[in-house]
Structure 1
Amino acid sequence: MREICVPIPFTDDEQVAEVEVKFANRKISVQYRLESFLWDVSDDSNFNPEDGIAEDLMKIYKLKKLIADYDPAWELIQIFTPSENSKNIQVLFRKK
């Protein structure tokens, strides 16, 4: 097993958690960042509310660009499933 999952409650959209893990006598410091990105594309000029597939593709493209342009010192860990009709999506990063 390479990783373990520990649920950590996040209450703020840009909260940073620092986790210290101890393996035998060795300590490792790991930093995580949960970011909230705007997921809504209704302001986009190409948006057509009747075309659900195009809307989903626009959201995916927007998120892909945000992740690609993100600080390279951080690596993508998880993209959380947004609730229905949510205007934001949460993404978890880990400091390299």
Structure 2
Amino acid sequence: MEAGKTVLCMAAWMSAWSITAEGDNTVPKAENVRWVSLDFKTVLNWTVRPSDYRYTVLYALSHEADIRTEALSQDYDYMDDLPHTYSSQFNPYKESNISSVEFSLKE
């Protein structure tokens, strides 16, 4: 009975370790993707954890972006298997913030 408990505890520990180790080896995905636009100067922001990957942004005419994670070594055969993050659609004509105009009158 004691050996069964030991095996069960060992199995639980190994499965917890494999989940933790797997999380450390996964390819990072862009998160918190958001558009920021002021006076029609638009920036796409996102967050990622530090890694040896670069990110490529693909824009579409419908004002959305596809952020792809790519290995720096360029030896990855299946680029479609790498994670993608899609932004929400963005219309700069409707969603850009316009700053106030400053002026003064001279007599």
Q: Structure 1-normalised TM-score?
A: 0.25
Question: Which of structures 1 and 2 has the larger relative contact order (alpha carbons within 8 angstroms, sep 6+)?
Answer: 1
Higher strand share: 1
Higher helix share: 2
